[in-house]
Amino acid sequence: MQNVFSIAIDGPSGAGKSSVARAVAEKLGAMYLDTGAMYRAVGLYMLKNGVPLNDASAIAANCPGVDVRVGYGKDGQQCVYLGEEDVSKAIRAAEVSLAASSVSTVPAVRERMVALQRGIAQGHSVVMDGRDIGTKVLPDATLKVFLTASAEVRARRRYDELSCKGMHEPYEKVLEELIRRDEVDTHREASPLRKAEDAVEVDCSQMTLEEVVETVVSLARQAVEGKA
Ligand code: DC
């Protein structure tokens, strides 16, 4: 594909957005940006600095001190830094997931992240995944995908993923936390998770990762050719 294009992949937690977006970016030779990792880094910063996560004004007041940077390792994997510190692993802890969900409700945090994300994407073909990519970050994206799956399927996948990493959380707890995050993400005032009007909804409950990737790649090719 020739011209610069952008693909927005939004959807609830655990739908497989990151795996799909990463694979699609690789197939199309585009840059991949996992925007959730950036909110996670902000959440980690607030945890490290003892900022109460139920205090939106304290989070907003501390936001200017957060130095989130995104880099890419030799293997092309996205790394996230807080200042000079690589926090790519630390941001995956369960308490950071909840912290990310809290900080992402604060408008000052969102404004900062959206500006950073647009800056990173500028001039590149990009595949971005998040919650507000099609509605806010890239409103003119070449293709917008809203990736969904039932809460039970998403919780089962997350549970399997955690088990593979030796983290044995009960399935019920994983499901409960996922439903709680869905609730926060869809009901917050600032850029709630919702399908953009011009997004294509892909329900991947019954699909393999490869099938979803093929579906999105084919939609992307059609969209890029349609706009050429
Ligand atoms: O995709 P994730 O689970 O790593 O995202 C972590 C949190 O960040 C999640 O609760 C929602 C929030 N988020 C957001 O509000 N907007 C984005 N573009 C990406 C993530």
Has residue 71 got a pLDDT over 80?
yes
Distance 35 CA to ligand 1 centre (A): 7
pLDDT in tens, 137-153: 999 999 999 999 999 99
Percentage of the chain lying above the pLDDT 70 cut: 99
Give the mean model confidence (pLDDT) for residues 185-203. 93
135 lines ligand 1 (CB under 6 A): no
Residue 228: predicted pLDDT: 64
Q: Cα–Cα distance between 9 and 147 in angstroms, integer?
A: 7
pLDDT in tens, 2-39: 589 999 999 998 999 999 999 999 999 999 999 999 99
Residue of 35, 161, 193 with the most ligand 1 atoms within 8 Å of its CB, for mutation = 35
Distance 12 CA to ligand 1 centre (A): 9
* Residue pair 107/63 in contact by the 8 Å Cβ criterion: no
* Residue pair 64/47 in contact by the 8 Å Cβ criterion: no
Give the mean model confidence (pLDDT) for residues 200-228. 93
> Please, what sign has the CA dihedral across residues 103, 108, 114, 120?
negative
Residue 2: predicted pLDDT: 55
Distance 228 CA to ligand 1 centre (A): 32
36 lines ligand 1 (CB under 6 A): yes
pLDDT in tens, 106-141: 999 999 999 999 999 899 999 999 999 999 999 999
Find the largest Cα–Cα distance for the chain. 50
pTM of the predicted protein model = 0.92
Mean predicted lDDT score pLDDT of the chain: 93
Q: Tell me, what DSSP letter sits at residue 105?
A: T
162 band by pLDDT with thresholds 50, 70 and 90: confident
* Residue pair 17/132 in contact by the 8 Å Cβ criterion: no
Q: Cα–Cα distance between 173 and 87 in angstroms, integer?
A: 25
